[in-house]
Amino acid sequence: MRPFVILPLLATAALQAATGAGAAPAAGGPPPPQAPSLAPLPPVRAVPGNEPTAARLELGQRLFFDRRLSGDGRRSCASCHWPESGWTVPTPFSPAAPGWVERRNSPSLLNVGHARVLIWDGRAPDLERQALGSTRNPVHMGQTLEGLLAALRSDARYRRLFREAYGSEPNPRDYGRALAVFERHALVSGDSPLDRHLQGEASALSPAARRGLALFRGKAGCIRCHHGPTLSDGGFHNVGLARNRRFDEPPWRRLLRFDARRMGLPEWEAMDDDPGRYLVTRDRRDWKRFKTPTLRNVALTAPYMHDGRYATLEEVVAHYDRGGDGVPGQEIRPLGLSDRERAELVAFLRALTGRRPALPLPLAETAPP
């Protein structure tokens, strides 16, 4: 199954011509720098040995929605990634296991197959390993490998699907592979008004959204970090977010230190803020840098930022317009947008919503018991 929209290369060529990207260098001179540009959403590349098949997609979708696979039988992958909310959750922080809190918002899984690394700090290198990591994380699904295997092997349907999908009995590696296939190849959403605009459909964007696109590329400078087919550079940036005051409260302070200890930070006992990418690299330059999220379907995925502090797109645009909160190391500055320009930028962001993914099975078939 391939629920993709493959857009013509002609649109990319036309956009490159308009932006100057891909232009021939002047005779005798160095090639010009490649300007960031927007591009249609290409097909997702399959991982060799874990290509999508009907059995793998069905298995992955059933695993994704099955609460019985968590430690207490109350949570599933879908607990943090609701289909009706753009495959994220409409709360500032993700749900957590009993006795725990979360301190980050769930990233959307739409078009996650195009991501180079996963999680806000980039600690997960691929979907296969991320799936198993979240299952075993006591803050998330809180399951042991023994408990997971017992739940899978006690279900005749799962035993059949594992054999059909991977020629195996239920095991942790193929559990992660099946979830990855579902997320990578089923949760694809393209064909947005922007995509149709890039194809040459003049009326796909409203006049306000077209002016917002010009601001996005120009005065507002959003395209510097939000470009390419997913409208994300896949990098990590400090966008000037002040420390979240919830971290003064004991449950959140405990979580910060627990995660820092799990990640091997020597200074874990003193942690009182979310370090972002620093948790992975130990490079002080990465302090409070977080992964650039995709902007595709952004109108569906409120609230915003890594800690869900902003409820609306208008608040997000206002943050960037004022130049952030003035924190050390921030990479943004005031934009000087007018009220009309801020509204036009939001109109463009709302035009990034694509069609719903075509799932292998109806949701009713995979709803948890």
Q: What is the pLDDT of residue 364?
A: 87
How sure is the predictor about 369, in pLDDT bands with cuts at 50, 70 and 90? low
Contacts for 285 with CB less than 8 Å, ≥ 6 apart: 329
Q: Which of 195, 290, 203 is nearest to 240 (CA)?
A: 290
Q: What angle do CA 133, 138, 140 make, to 5 degrees?
A: 70
User: What tokens were used for 231?
Assistant: 């409208």
Beta bridge partners of 279: none
Count CA atoms within 13 Å of residue 27 on its CB side. 0
Q: Which of 318, 311, 312 is nearest to 336 (CA)?
A: 318
- The CATH code of the domain that includes 62 is 1.10.760.10
Q: Same structural domain for residues 341 and 199? A: yes
> How many domains, in total, are found in the chain?
3
Q: Same structural domain for residues 147 and 136? A: yes
Q: Same structural domain for residues 301 and 322? A: yes
Helix (H, G, I), strand (E, B) or coil at 216: helix
pLDDT tens figures, 123-179: 999 999 999 999 999 999 999 999 999 999 999 999 999 999 999 999 999 999 999
Least reliable range by pLDDT among 16-25, 173-182, 271-280, 334-343:
16-25
Contacts for 64 with CB less than 8 Å, ≥ 6 apart: 76, 77, 78, 179, 182, 183, 366
Q: Same structural domain for residues 249 and 231? A: no
Is 16 inside any structural domain? no
CB neighbourhood size of 234 (10 A): 15
Q: Is the pLDDT of residue 2 over 70?
A: no
Q: Same structural domain for residues 90 and 156? A: yes
Q: Which of 19, 11, 18 is nearest to 199 (CA)?
A: 11
Is 27 inside any structural domain? no
List the domain range (segments joined by +) for residue 258.
245-283
How sure is the predictor about 367, in pLDDT bands with cuts at 50, 70 and 90? confident
Is 21 inside any structural domain? no
Is 129 inside any structural domain? yes
Q: Which of 179, 143, 175, 172 is nearest to 61 (CA)?
A: 179
Q: What angle do CA 353, 356, 358 make, to 5 degrees?
A: 150
Q: Same structural domain for residues 176 and 67? A: yes
The span from the CA of 196 to the CA of 216, in Å, is 17
User: What tokens were used for 72?
Assistant: 């207490």
The span from the CA of 153 to the CA of 171, in Å, is 9
Is 29 inside any structural domain? no
pLDDT tens figures, 183-213: 999 999 999 999 999 999 989 999 999 999 9
The span from the CA of 99 to the CA of 250, in Å, is 12
Residue pointed to by tokens 């007018």: 338
Is 308 inside any structural domain? yes
Q: Same structural domain for residues 324 and 205? A: yes
Is 65 inside any structural domain? yes
Q: Same structural domain for residues 166 and 106? A: yes
Q: List strand residue ranges (DSSP E) for the chain, in order.
A: 236-237, 290-291
Q: Same structural domain for residues 185 and 198? A: no
Q: Same structural domain for residues 251 and 319? A: no
Q: Same structural domain for residues 71 and 182? A: yes
pLDDT tens figures, 322-352: 999 999 999 999 999 999 999 999 999 999 9
Is 26 inside any structural domain? no
Q: Same structural domain for residues 301 and 328? A: yes
Q: Which of 289, 295, 369 is nearest to 65 (CA)?
A: 369
